[in-house]
Structure 1
Amino acid sequence: MAASVRVFVSHLSGVAVFDPNGDRVGRVRDVVAMLRVGARPPRVLGLVVEVVSRRVIFLPMTRVTGVESGQVVTTGVVNMRRFEQRPTETLVLGELLDRRVRLVATGDEVTVLDVSITQLHARREWEIDKVFVRRGKGGALRRKGETLTVEWSAVSGFSLEEHGQGAASLLATFEQLRPADLASVLHHLSPKRRAEVAAALDDDRLADVLEELPEDDQIEILGKLKEERAADVLEAMDPDDAADLLSELPEEDKERLLTLMQPGDAADVRRLLAYEERTAGGLMTTEPIVLRPDATVADALARVRNPDLSPALAAQVYVCRPPDETPTGKYLGTVHFQRLLRDPPFTLVGSITDTDLRPLPPDTPLPAVTSYLATYNMVAAPVVDAGGSLLGAVTVDDVLDHLLPDDWRETELHQGALGMSAMEETDASGGTNEPGEARDGK
């Protein structure tokens, strides 16, 4: 690799990692560095790489043979142990971006937008060499917002813990991530940084991310938000997810947040909280697609196209008498998406409704819900009360959430499922590194 290689770390975010055979190992999520005494540039230790099932591992820079053409190439020897950040290590994207530091020459305060890493001459080691910053209010002759690239040694303040650190540059780097992937990034940040990033996300984006986080992270983040904003975020969440989260809070906190929510949103969540957790009523969402029988296929397809709907909810519509908000009038049946595609746009949904498939009572236990979906090859099922009103719909993704282990968001699939049971970083002689060697003897 040429000695002149220099890469800004924001350009590494999400970049694919390949082995020498061209097989993809995963994607880069962050860069691990070790700050050093004085003005010496930090040494880059390696990359945090997300592999199958959102597990994150550590890839030492000594295993990196190429960083070019929008990809990272490794030696093919990968340690599949889960990455755990050590006290002496710094996550470049997660912890350095958005820091406020000072220019040594002028004392001006600047904000870190990016940093670049470069490979040392004739060696396989890398270090941070330059910092891309935006000048703050300091400097009377400088206009606010001026950006410049300086040497690492030209700035000071990285070694100090910062309170109230922003997150704009970090979020810009991860802007294109899906909520589940951004949730994985947040989960591996420090609690301080996690709170700062959560505070910078808008309500809808934070709601989507919270739904993908482990329970402990959800409670931690919600607890650090101002109560009014916490209520706004809960309103933006799917009612069933909001109910699951609130059910884990102390009764006093739960009631206070419900009181701050909009009455309509709070009413949906309260209804869900009234059911046992592992029943159809506790699992359902109260916002399925509900249509009156005189609606047309064109009306139904317009509702299905809503990009905010999950694929499972968009798979079918539920035909009911007015009112068409849950709990509805009399439930009449369902129309599957495929049937909507086979009939003319002017067809009334009441004329193509499937009335043969029985709905689920709200007290149906989880095993029976699972059997129902499997028996009828459904991705969602209607939940109807004793009076015949539609209460909501249970979707397969919510069922899976409750079938998997409680900590499934934090743990990887079994090694055998990954096909990597033999990849504990076996070297050419068949040996395996001990955990202490995972940072190349650092």
Structure 2
Amino acid sequence: MSPSRIFVARLAGTSVFDPVGDRVGRVRDVLVVYRKNDPPSVVGLVVEIPGKRRVFLSIGRVTSISSGQIITNGLINVRRFEQRGGEVRVIAELLGRRVVFADGSGEATVEDVAIEESPTGEWAVSQLFVRRPKVGPSPFGKGPTTLVAWNEVREKQERGAAQSAEQLIATYSELKPADLANTLLDLPPQRMLEVAEELPDDRLADVLEEMPESEQVQILTKLDDDRAADVLDQMQPDDAADLIAQLSDERGEHLLELMEPEEAEDVRMLLTYAPDTAGGLMTTEPIIVSADATVAEGLALIRRHELAPALGAAVCVTLPPYEAPTGRFLGIVHFQRMLRYPPHVRLGTLLDPSLEPVTADTSAAEVSRILASYNLVSVPVVDEKHRLVGVVTIDDILDYLLPDDWRSQDEDEPVKRGPSDETGSIRIVNGRRGGSGTR
């Protein structure tokens, strides 16, 4: 193994390879155990393998560690990782902790942890990268940083005190919402709530949309009403409605009163529909244009970075007004059709004549049949006056059809990689953390 010092925060997201160069996953954390007189010992890595399953990789199975890649000896256990008593996750639990200097010179916050290999082949924490409190005016708004040995500081984490999540959030800043949601779900419950409370409103909204309902409610319950309303404002109306429906009537109504009036109006409308109907599943924010809009204008609207792919697959054409509920629905234009025509062509001449909208009370089963039969990713929803009120997208239907706990379910089939052990490819074992090198 490389004898160089490695900073753990830089390992987050690093690819893990088998001996023949096939990537088997990405590092999500480093696991250590405390020792009485010596620095904490590294016992393994938490690795995310295909299927977003997090597994334990014993440090004894690692042949090379660097900030760019990690190589294993070819043996991985795919049983879902479960943290044992006495184990500490460096990124999830150590970063952000407060420490005091043994020489009495003050306190600091841990921003990174360095691990190093000893001559005997054991990996352990060697140094901490810490930041002292800001003193006086600073052009950067932060205090000075320094590297200290483990024995030069001691932890100062008061029982019940909230641990700063700033550094953890920075470490996972590039994760997609679904991946960040999975990461939070793997944290101890209190730590999950601490991190959630420090996420920006829009980021927390995206994460909540990817979580099971029980965890959504758990997090929202811990937020004060004003913050909870701000987060709900940032969520897709259909997801916000689903979440509010899980709350007590009293708190749900109070949060609706605190939300922005336009957002609250959409959510209230969605709450009037049964959850197993098109009205209960739809989103109220499709792309809506007039018949006089041009192909160039339509393509510009679907290019928006924040737009979900399913919503960008088509634009809806209506009479004014152009916000749901709109004027009379005229039809939709698929983005592929727009690509086939010059920029100046009017969208009203490109409507799909074969696609009929559904009504808000259409069953989810019927909407599923329509999407599957006509190879669609969305279907428009109209009211009794033929006004567009929303669209049901393929992801809305998948969320409805999949079991409630699909985000946390283990895969039934074992992961298969490579031909055989003799070729040096990954070999899978079924024990919890089996094989030699297991603690």
**What TM-score bracket applies, with the shorter chain setting the length?**
over 0.9
| Distance in 2 (alpha carbons) for counterparts of 1:199 and 1:210 | 12
For structure 2, the 5+ residue unaligned runs are: none
Residue 245 of structure 2 contacts residue 271 of structure 2 at CA under 8 Å; is this kept in 1?
yes
Q: Which amino acid aligns with 2:128?
A: V
Runs of 4+ in 1 over 2 A off after TM superposition: 158-162, 430-442
Aligned equivalent of 1:350:
348
Aligned equivalent of 2:299:
301
Q: Which amino acid aligns with 2:409?
A: T
Superposed CA deviations along residues 26-66 of structure 1, whole A, max 9, x for unmatched, are 1101111112224x200111111111121110111011111
Aligned equivalent of 1:63:
61
SS in 1 for 2:359: coil
Given candidates 145, 152, 155, the residue that maps to 1:154 is 152
Residue 304 of structure 1 contacts residue 314 of structure 1 at CA under 8 Å; is this kept in 2?
yes
| Distance in 2 (alpha carbons) for counterparts of 1:138 and 1:46 | 38
Residue 97 of structure 1 contacts residue 113 of structure 1 at CA under 8 Å; is this kept in 2?
yes
| Distance in 1 (alpha carbons) for counterparts of 2:247 and 2:237 | 16
Residue 384 of structure 1 contacts residue 391 of structure 1 at CA under 8 Å; is this kept in 2?
yes
Superposed CA deviations along residues 213-264 of structure 1, whole A, max 9, x for unmatched, are 1222211111111110100100100001111111111211211111111111
Q: Which amino acid aligns with 1:129?
A: S
Residue 102 of structure 1 contacts residue 110 of structure 1 at CA under 8 Å; is this kept in 2?
yes
| Distance in 1 (alpha carbons) for counterparts of 2:403 and 2:23 | 28
Alpha-carbon offset, residue 160 of structure 1:
5.6
Given candidates 413, 431, 434, the residue that maps to 1:415 is 413
Alpha-carbon offset, residue 158 of structure 1:
6.1
Residue 238 of structure 2 contacts residue 284 of structure 2 at CA under 8 Å; is this kept in 1?
yes
Superposed CA deviations along residues 120-145 of structure 1, whole A, max 9, x for unmatched, are 2132x211110000111579xxx961
Aligned equivalent of 1:20:
19
SS in 2 for 1:254: helix
Given candidates 254, 257, 264, the residue that maps to 2:255 is 257
Aligned equivalent of 2:217:
219
Superposed CA deviations along residues 375-413 of structure 1, whole A, max 9, x for unmatched, are 111001101112101110001011111111211101133
Higher relative contact order, chain-length normalized (CA < 8 Å, sep 6+) = 2
TM-score of the aligned structures, taking structure 2 as reference length: 0.93
| Distance in 1 (alpha carbons) for counterparts of 2:243 and 2:7 | 38
Closer, same or farther: CA 382–106 of 1 in aligned 2, 3 Å: same
Write out aligned runs for 1:250-399 (5 A).
250-399=248-397
Given candidates 398, 421, 432, the residue that maps to 1:435 is 432
Superposed CA deviations along residues 324-348 of structure 1, whole A, max 9, x for unmatched, are 1001110000000011111111111
Alpha-carbon offset, residue 188 of structure 1:
0.7
Residue 54 of structure 1 contacts residue 412 of structure 1 at CA under 8 Å; is this kept in 2?
no
Alignment partner of 1:128 is 2:157:
no
SS in 2 for 1:86: coil
Q: Percent identity?
A: 50
Alpha-carbon offset, residue 287 of structure 1:
0.1
| Distance in 2 (alpha carbons) for counterparts of 1:194 and 1:350 | 49
Residue 320 of structure 2 contacts residue 327 of structure 2 at CA under 8 Å; is this kept in 1?
yes
SS in 1 for 2:344: coil
Q: Which amino acid aligns with 1:14?
A: G
| Distance in 1 (alpha carbons) for counterparts of 2:280 and 2:17 | 43
Closer, same or farther: CA 136–439 of 1 in aligned 2, 3 Å: farther
Alpha-carbon offset, residue 201 of structure 1:
1.2
| Distance in 2 (alpha carbons) for counterparts of 1:237 and 1:211 | 7
Alpha-carbon offset, residue 7 of structure 1:
0.6
Closer, same or farther: CA 433–349 of 1 in aligned 2, 3 Å: closer
| Distance in 1 (alpha carbons) for counterparts of 2:267 and 2:436 | 47
Superposed CA deviations along residues 166-222 of structure 1, whole A, max 9, x for unmatched, are 112111111111111111111111122112211221111111111111222211111
SS in 1 for 2:306: coil
Alignment partner of 1:178 is 2:176:
yes
For structure 1, the 5+ residue unaligned runs are: none
